[in-house]
Amino acid sequence: MSQLSQLAETLIGSEIVRLGNEINARIRKGEKIYNYTIGDFDPEIFPIPKELEELIIKAYQNRYTNYPPADGLQELRTAVAGFVKDTQRLDYATNEVLIASGGRPLIYSLFRTIVNRGDKVIYAVPSWNNNHYVHMNGGAHCVVDARPENNFMPSAADIAAHIPGASLLCLCTPQNPTGTTLDRNELENICDLVLEENMRRGASEKKLYLMFDQMYGTLTYGDTEHYNPVSLRPEMKQYTIFIDGLSKAFAATGVRVGWSLGPANVIAKMKALLSHVGAWAPMAEQKATAAYLVQKEAISKYLAHFKAGLEERLWRIYEGFIDLQQKGYDVDAVTPQAAIYLTIKLNLAGKTDGERMLSTQEEVTDYILSEAKLAVVPFYAFGADSESPWYRLSIGTCKKEEIAEMLSKLEAALKKLK
């Protein structure tokens, strides 16, 4: 009999961490790896805004090193409310804003606030970590298989059958791992499902809430627009909890300042939970972020430069994959839309290089890593079918001067397969 908790014994380890450990071991042995697995940034390529960096240093010099308030500094919550009002036309009071050390503790506290053991939680796959959060909270998995023809985003039609009796619907747009987005019409239709269900439930029955993760909301390209449920359907404000923060918008994953926006009663309970966990953003970083978020001109200038660098990488790799496809190789890619991810297809299962047969998608992943030195994350790491040929390619650590070299090595590896 196990001496540990059921959760500890049943929690599934991260496939991304497993891949990362293998990649790091290869790098330590001297291999050159194009590591496009991690949803992070190389600070040498994508540093945080200079103004934010200087404000953080100044805050530490001014000895802001004590505990912050449990819900975050008043000045930061005010700055966040102003920032989302300017950028997304969202109107939130400071008691409807909660600060934490990035998005993860906010997601965890939201699950703990909304989801009872056995409650239905709706989420699409592939998606980042929803399966793990449902498991950790004892929820019932209501899984929607998103399809390539919808750019791997869930549709209202996909979700509708799961709505009755559900407690939480999880949406992420722009999405990790796909780099794709929900369009306006589809998000409106999903909001209408939630509103209709909550009207049907009446005053005494537990409501259906929407977790809306828009951590990549500022990172859209070309004609792609980011929409949010509350701007499209103001009645959704009482049922929507946003997950957002600095991490991806400003290449500040290690700065650890995230925020939630939501109904005051839900935010208050999330605050109470986090006060016991202690997952606060550091005081100095909160001070600095409060001062930075009001610098509209600096933010606009930073985002223009930052997004241009991301978009160029995404398009160059996308065009490289389409070129390989046109040469007859069984690969594909989804047109870049948003975030730091490119969805690519390596449909190589069943092929052989003359010495070994690639019987499974895991063997395809290992082959591409060994032969092309290309490290990408399979969609099965995000809850999709184990034999899905689709992958997440992250460009946060991508050096422009290495793209052509990477594509050349990939083509050489593909050429060996029959």
User: In this predicted model, what pLDDT tens digit does every residue of 312-321 receive, in sequence order?
Assistant: 999 999 999 9
Same domain, 402 and 342: yes
Whole-number pLDDT of residue 165: 95
pLDDT band per the 50, 70, 90 thresholds, residue 16: confident
Q: Is residue 57 part of a domain?
A: no
CATH number, domain of 408, equals: 3.90.1150.10
CB neighbours of residue 304 within 10 Å: 9
Whole-number pLDDT of residue 1: 59
Same domain, 209 and 284: yes
pLDDT tens digits, 391-413: 999 999 999 999 999 999 999 99
Distance CA 65, CA 57 (A): 12
Same domain, 321 and 392: yes
Same domain, 250 and 340: no
Q: Is residue 409 part of a domain?
A: yes
Distance CA 36, CA 27 (A): 13
pLDDT tens digits, 124-163: 999 999 999 999 999 999 999 999 999 999 999 999 999 9
Rg (CA), the chain: 22
Q: Is residue 306 part of a domain?
A: yes
Whole-number pLDDT of residue 275: 94
Q: Is residue 47 part of a domain?
A: no
Residue-averaged pLDDT of the chain:
95
Whole-number pLDDT of residue 24: 84
SS3 call for 69: coil
Same domain, 204 and 70: yes
Same domain, 374 and 344: yes
Whole-number pLDDT of residue 264: 98
pLDDT tens digits, 324-335: 999 999 999 999
Q: Which of 294, 329, 362 is the last residue of a domain?
A: 294
Same domain, 304 and 290: no
Whole-number pLDDT of residue 19: 80
Q: Is residue 405 part of a domain?
A: yes
Q: Is residue 41 part of a domain?
A: no
Q: Which of 233, 265, 294 is the last residue of a domain?
A: 294
Q: What is the pTM of this model?
A: 0.95
pLDDT tens digits, 55-84: 999 999 999 999 999 999 999 999 999 999
Continuous H helices in 118-243: 130-136, 156-160, 184-201, 229-232
pLDDT tens digits, 193-227: 999 999 999 888 999 999 999 999 999 999 999 99
pLDDT tens digits, 86-124: 999 999 999 999 999 999 999 999 999 999 999 999 999
Q: Please determine, for residue 14, whether its predicted confidence score (pLDDT) is greater than 90.
A: no
Q: Is residue 107 part of a domain?
A: yes
Same domain, 278 and 322: no
Q: Is residue 52 part of a domain?
A: no
Same domain, 70 and 25: no
338 vs 7: which has the higher pLDDT: 338
pLDDT tens digits, 255-281: 999 999 999 999 999 999 999 999 999
pLDDT band per the 50, 70, 90 thresholds, residue 20: confident
Same domain, 232 and 125: yes
Whole-number pLDDT of residue 338: 98
Q: Which of 294, 315, 335 is the last residue of a domain?
A: 294
Report how many domains make up the chain.
Answer: 2
Same domain, 387 and 306: yes
Buried b (16+ CB within 10 A) or exposed e, 78-90: bbbbebbeebbeb
CATH number, domain of 167, equals: 3.40.640.10
Provide the terminal-to-terminal Cα distance of the chain, rounded to the nearest Å. 49
pLDDT band per the 50, 70, 90 thresholds, residue 27: confident
Whole-number pLDDT of residue 390: 97
Proportion of the chain above pLDDT 70, given as a percent: 100
Same domain, 392 and 254: no
* DSSP secondary structure string for all residues of 348-382: -TT-B-SS-B--SHHHHHHHIIIII-EE-EEGGGG
Instruction: Print the domain residue range for 132.
Output: 63-294
CB neighbours of residue 67 within 10 Å: 9
| Amino acid residing at 33 | I
* Residue listed under structure tokens 């703990």: 112
Q: Please determine, for residue 15, whether its predicted confidence score (pLDDT) is greater than 90.
A: no
